[in-house]
Structure 1
Amino acid sequence: MKRIVKHTYLESRFFTILIGFVFLFIMAYQIPGWLPISIFLLTVFGLLVLTDTLLLFKQNGLQANRVLPKKLSNGDNNPILITLHNAYNFNVKLKLIDELPVQYQKRDFQILTALNKLSDKKITYTLRPLQRGEYHFGYLNVYVTSPIGLVTRRFQFGHNAMVPNYPSFLQLKKYMLIAFSNKLFEFGLKKIRSIGHTMEFEQIKDYVPGDDIRTINWKATAKRNQMMVNQFQDERSQPIYSVIDKGRVMKMPFKGLSLLDYAINATLVISNIALKKQDKAGMFAFSKQVSNKVSAERRPSQMNQIMETLYNLDTDFAESDFSRLYIDMKRYLNQRSLLLLYTNFETLDALHRQLPYLKAMAKNHVLVVIFFENTELHKLTQKTAKNTYEIFEKTIAEKFIFEKKQIVNELQKHGIQSMLTAPEDLTLNTINKYLEIKARGLL
């Protein structure tokens, strides 16, 4: 009995009819002939409520299951599947209320549907998580109403399910396809085979005008009695490091995701593409000190190690120490590498404080400084100013946008490659930059 009371709810139709009976009995005082009719109708109504309750609780008439993925992809739409089976001998109306994780702060989530007798149904909805970590789901509540529609029975399934939310692995396949097609480049570059001077020897060939005389193979020349040169190809297994600033400048959110999360998602994708391109992928993060290091390797478990490291990465709200970054890089990186540095500079003064260390890193490595446009400022400049205060706001916004462009010019002036990008375009632009550097043979 306790179970029935706990899971029984009265529909709005029940209260509407009950209010009708109140008016009917009030009128019965004025019209005595209506009293027996009112009592009879009330008795019929009570029997209908009892019948409705017995129909719903006679058997365990509904089965439901929430199918969760093994892990969620941060910043992407993740499908959640609900399977339903109606064991009742009549059609039912359903209201599904899934107790979503606390990260969503959503208390009005519900799905209305209907299910024919002795039939099955699948329902899919999507969740877009914006914070890495554990997501705990509560009960899947299913409220069942019979054709009578006076009483609702509640079923509860799948209590306390936990799914971890990882960096955006759903983007891996998407960008992998783009990276290995011809649709990525928009700046006129094409793939070329670059003749380099690395340790990877390819062949000995006849000398043609334009070949580097430093590659002449004198033994082969003496044997063939004609000029022969060594030909090399670019070494494939080159170290590609994603360097993530996890200081307070990366906490700024755009479209729900922080700059740090955009950088983490881009790191996961570019590491996967680098490995597929026969390069070595690695990463590390820094603020007051360098941490979360993954050495650049090409082993099969490299992507799993990078993903697990990125999963636990978070900002520490500290001022990032670029001098410590330079010292640790000089100590640990013995081979010339491509460094994709994800950080953010809002002003020229902020850049000038770190510029000596960036120049020092660029001497031994190919350094690409990646920082972000403030898309909210762009929206502000596109609005029409209606008063003096809005003119002032718009002018300040344009000043900050112009200063970002000055930062790019300042880095280029010192021979440091840079990329200014909107947060949502970070992954695609980073892949473009990586492929551009590979095509130009800069590494």
Structure 2
Amino acid sequence: MMLPARRAFQLLGVNAALALLVSVFPERIVLWYVAVGASLLAVFIDLLLVMTEPAPRGERFVPHSLPLGVKRSVRLKIHNTSKRPLTLDVFDHFPLEVSARGFPLRIGLAVGTFAEPLYEVTANERGKLLFPCLQIRVRSPLQFWWHDLKLPVVSEVKVYPNFAAVAQYALMATDHHLSHMGIMKKRRRGEGQDFHQLREYRAGDSLRQIDWKASSRMRRPISREYQDERDQEIIFLLDCGHRMLAKDDSLSHFDHTLNAILLLTYVALRQGDAVGLGSFAGQSRWLPAHKGQHNVQHMLDALYDLQPTTQAPDYAQAATELLVRQKKRALVILLTNLRDEDLDDLLPAVHILRKRHLVLLASMREQAIDQALDKPVDNQEDALHKAAVQHYLAKREATLQRIRATGIRCLDVAPAALSVNLINHYLDIKRSGIL
């Protein structure tokens, strides 16, 4: 496509001014004809030159995967294949699910050179995204035209849940700074469930740790050292229903849940456990429990394009399907957004699960509720609103207490605090040996 540039409009203005002058001095009409003819010739020659020259060549270098809500750089590479210096305007056609700034980019290229401009993108939705083309406008030699070109530079990227937290956890685990994230690793020397090794007796060891046979052979006190049980299985049961669409900040409750799943998966795999996942309410997926750090990538691939739906959760059906698929006893972590009206459906479901598995219910609480309690009361309407919020919270707490009374562990936290609370509960369960 050919588009007129600013100089073409300036030339048109000059010819219009000459036409006005000729209307005052008719004897100069020949001069106006000459000016119009020269202008048309120049514009036409300029058009031919820009249309017949080789088009620039473009490349795009974008990461194969992007974390949700985190800025990442995209690099373009534009080559000048013409025999003259070029002035270009560059615009990259990024997906609607991505936000970017700074376009169009104005670039000047000498003969035989290339430029590598950078721009930042932020993915706002998970899934498979497509960068369809690269748009370049080349200014003509006489600057009367812009040659608008769309280069078929196609790139496909996958937007995953934010895995930056996993990198942060790995770094803090190396530096022994996990407490900075609120993860409390309480050590209980020699009081785990699985035998780890024999070692010399240390002050503070209990008498029941002493291995008397080994002590008699070695002629000095020898203690048994235990570690937390390994080879256990963790199954996430993920609600994809309509309540997970709720959003308190830039991320929905569903995205906060995926981030928590990803981080706890990394922690559990490092502990030697196997991790699996099942989803319900709209999108039903099943990932059997596997061990090994490579399973983090499997979990990413299973979750990156999973989206919440407008369906209501059916807890009983989800529990029944899980019992069919998961035969070995496991820690089942049910992730949802609980309401008091769900109790009649939820209680039978968790009763079914707890016959074979240990169940942890993790429910997210909207931050707007906590914020409403913090607002000052200035009038009757504010008082009624605050009373309604407190009544809602009281019913919610009563629902959770009824669930806890049946022996089910429950979490009721804000979405942003879900990751740390889940990990702490998981580590407590490992230390207690109840799984």
- Do the two structures share a fold, i.e. TM-score over 0.5? yes
Residue of 104, 128, 132 corresponding to 1:138: 132
1:167-182 alignment, distance < 5 Å: 167-169=161-163, 171-182=165-176
1:21 CA displacement: 2.5
1:153 CA displacement: 1.0
Aligned partner of 2:268: which letter?
Answer: A
* CA distance, structure 1, for counterparts of residue 129 and residue 253 of structure 2: 21
Aligned partner of 1:85: which letter?
Answer: H
Q: Which residue of 1 aligns with 2:336?
A: 343
Give TM-score, length-normalised by structure 1: 0.77
Is the 2:192–2:431 Cα contact (8 Å) retained in structure 1? no
* CA distance, structure 2, for counterparts of residue 322 and residue 188 of structure 1: 30
* CA distance, structure 2, for counterparts of residue 321 and residue 212 of structure 1: 51
Residue of 363, 386, 396 corresponding to 1:371: 363
1:371 CA displacement: 2.0
Task: Pick closer, same or farther for the CA change 1:122–1:229 going to 2, 3 Å.
Answer: closer
Q: Which residue of 1 aligns with 2:260?
A: 266
1:10-50 deviation digits (Å, cap 9, x = unpaired)? 12442354244224313321233654454444344334424
1:38-187 alignment, distance < 5 Å: 38-60=32-54, 62-88=56-82, 91-101=85-95, 103=97, 110-118=103-111, 119-146=113-140, 148-159=142-153, 161-169=155-163, 171-185=165-179
* CA distance, structure 1, for counterparts of residue 204 and residue 72 of structure 2: 58
Give TM-score, length-normalised by structure 2: 0.78
Is the 2:229–2:430 Cα contact (8 Å) retained in structure 1? no
Task: Pick closer, same or farther for the CA change 1:192–1:381 going to 2, 3 Å.
Answer: closer
Are 2:198 and 1:203 aligned? yes
The DSSP-based 3-state class of the residue aligned with 2:3 is: strand
Which segments of 5 or more consecutive residues in structure 2 lack a partner in the other structure? none
Task: Pick closer, same or farther for the CA change 1:390–1:39 going to 2, 3 Å.
Answer: farther
Are 2:21 and 1:27 aligned? yes
Task: Pick closer, same or farther for the CA change 1:270–1:189 going to 2, 3 Å.
Answer: closer
Task: Pick closer, same or farther for the CA change 1:298–1:252 going to 2, 3 Å.
Answer: same
* CA distance, structure 1, for counterparts of residue 373 and residue 90 of structure 2: 44
Are 2:187 and 1:192 aligned? yes
Q: Which residue of 2 aligns with 1:294?
A: 287
Length, aligned pairs only: 433
Task: Pick closer, same or farther for the CA change 1:191–1:69 going to 2, 3 Å.
Answer: same
Q: Which residue of 1 aligns with 2:4?
A: 10
* CA distance, structure 1, for counterparts of residue 262 and residue 24 of structure 2: 79
Task: Pick closer, same or farther for the CA change 1:113–1:175 going to 2, 3 Å.
Answer: farther
Is the 2:58–2:153 Cα contact (8 Å) retained in structure 1? no
Task: Pick closer, same or farther for the CA change 1:341–1:92 going to 2, 3 Å.
Answer: same
* CA distance, structure 2, for counterparts of residue 310 and residue 168 of structure 1: 11
Q: Which residue of 2 aligns with 1:423?
A: 415
1:292-326 deviation digits (Å, cap 9, x = unpaired)? 33332224653343333324644454433333444
* CA distance, structure 2, for counterparts of residue 123 and residue 384 of structure 1: 51
Greater displacement, 269-278 / 85-94: 85-94
1:138 CA displacement: 2.4
The DSSP-based 3-state class of the residue aligned with 2:50 is: helix
1:142 CA displacement: 0.6
Are 2:315 and 1:322 aligned? yes
* CA distance, structure 2, for counterparts of residue 162 and residue 242 of structure 1: 29
Aligned partner of 1:265: which letter?
Answer: N
**RMSD of the TM alignment (CA)?**
4.3
1:250 CA displacement: 2.3
1:327 CA displacement: 4.4
Are 2:253 and 1:238 aligned? no
Is the 1:198–1:233 Cα contact (8 Å) retained in structure 2? yes
* CA distance, structure 1, for counterparts of residue 295 and residue 367 of structure 2: 34
* CA distance, structure 2, for counterparts of residue 211 and residue 364 of structure 1: 34
Task: Pick closer, same or farther for the CA change 1:362–1:254 going to 2, 3 Å.
Answer: same
Aligned partner of 2:269: which letter?
Answer: L
Which segments of 5 or more consecutive residues in structure 1 lack a partner in the other structure? 1-6
1:275-294 alignment, distance < 5 Å: 275-287=269-281, 291-294=284-287
Aligned partner of 1:323: which letter?
Answer: A
* CA distance, structure 2, for counterparts of residue 340 and residue 427 of structure 1: 12
* CA distance, structure 1, for counterparts of residue 384 and residue 89 of structure 2: 51
Aligned partner of 1:354: which letter?
Answer: L
**Kindly, what percent of the aligned residue pairs are identical?**
22
Is the 2:169–2:178 Cα contact (8 Å) retained in structure 1? no
Are 2:303 and 1:310 aligned? yes
